[in-house]
Amino acid sequence: MKFTVELKRGSISSALRDCGYAPLGIDPAAQELIFVKSLGRMYPRFHIYCKAVSGSHVFALNLHLDQKRPTYQGVSAHSGEYEGSIVEAEAKRISSTIHEAKPSL
C-alpha cells in the first residue's frame, strides 16, 4: 500500500521508530530507506520502503506485510500482502502517529 506522510519536525527514521519500526538498511538501486516491524519472532512482519518526495518533508511510504520469509535462498520473492484490512489499518496507524506527535520541550 502506497501512501504519503508529512513531517512537521524531526526525521523520518525517528518518526517510524516512534511507530515501532526498526531500520533495516537502504535499497541502493531505488535509494529508499527500509524499515521493518515484526509481529512475531521474525515473521509475520510489516515492511516499509521510504523515499523523500522532491526533497521536502513529505515522504512516500510503500507498506506491505510479509507473511513468511522467502522460500528459496537467494530469491527475494515472498508471501507479501500489499492491500487488505490489516495493511490499511497499519497505514492509518502510522499516519495518525506521525501527525499527532507532540513537540518535545
pLDDT at 43: 84
Residue 92's pLDDT band (cuts 50, 70, 90): very high
pLDDT for residue 25 is more than 90: yes
- Kindly give, in sequence order, each residue whose CB lies less than 8 Å from that of residue 33, ignoring residues fewer than 6 positions away: 12, 13, 23, 25, 26, 49, 50, 51
Per domain, the residue ranges of the chain are 2-99
Query: What tens digit of pLDDT does each residue of 34-60 get?
Result: 999 998 888 899 999 999 997 678 999
Does the reported pTM lie above 0.85? Answer: no
pLDDT at 105 over 50: no
Q: State the residue for C-alpha cell 535499497.
A: 27
